Amino acid sequence: MTYDKDARLKKLRFRAWRRGFREADLILGPFADKHVPSFSDAELDWFERLLEVPDQDLYAWIVGRDEPPAEFSGPIMDRIRAFRFEVSQARGDDHGG
């Protein structure tokens, strides 16, 4: 891994954990820790754009309260949505859905 990619991954993981909206942090942070290191450059670009979305909108998409626009629909959003249940089970709470 190049230094630039390593720095990019570190920045994305930091941003995923520190959005300022606790519920989103608790899903996106662990998701980034687990999955972002294996992302392609195109997937990293997508995730960076996702992290620019306002917290309330993003969280509503993750929990299925609202559907994301086409640009954010797809396999990675599906993985994030499924991942919220993994995180919830690991914590032993009911915040996954």
The single residue listed with the structure tokens 């919830």 is 88
Whether residue 18 lies inside any domain: the answer is yes
Residue 81's pLDDT is 95
CATH number of the domain within which 66 lies: 1.10.150.250
**Size (the chain), residues:** 97
Whether residue 55 lies inside any domain: the answer is yes
| Alpha carbons 24 and 56: distance in angstroms, whole number | 9
Whether residue 66 lies inside any domain: the answer is yes
Question: Using CA atoms in the order 21, 22, 28, 33, what is the torsion angle rounded to 10 degrees?
Answer: 130
Which residues span the domain enclosing 19? Answer: 3-91
Whether residue 32 lies inside any domain: the answer is yes
If one counts the domains in the chain, the total is 1
**Pick from 29, 22, 81, 77: nearest CA to 49:** 77
Whether residue 60 lies inside any domain: the answer is yes
**Pick from 92, 89, 85, 91: nearest CA to 62:** 85
Q: What is the pLDDT along the chain (97 residues), one digit of tens a residue?
A: 577 989 999 999 999 999 888 999 999 999 999 999 999 999 999 999 999 999 999 999 999 999 999 999 999 999 999 998 887 666 666 555 5
The single residue listed with the structure tokens 């994305």 is 12
Residue 12's pLDDT is 96
Q: What is the CA radius of gyration of the chain?
A: 13
The single residue listed with the structure tokens 């599906």 is 78
Residue 20's pLDDT is 83
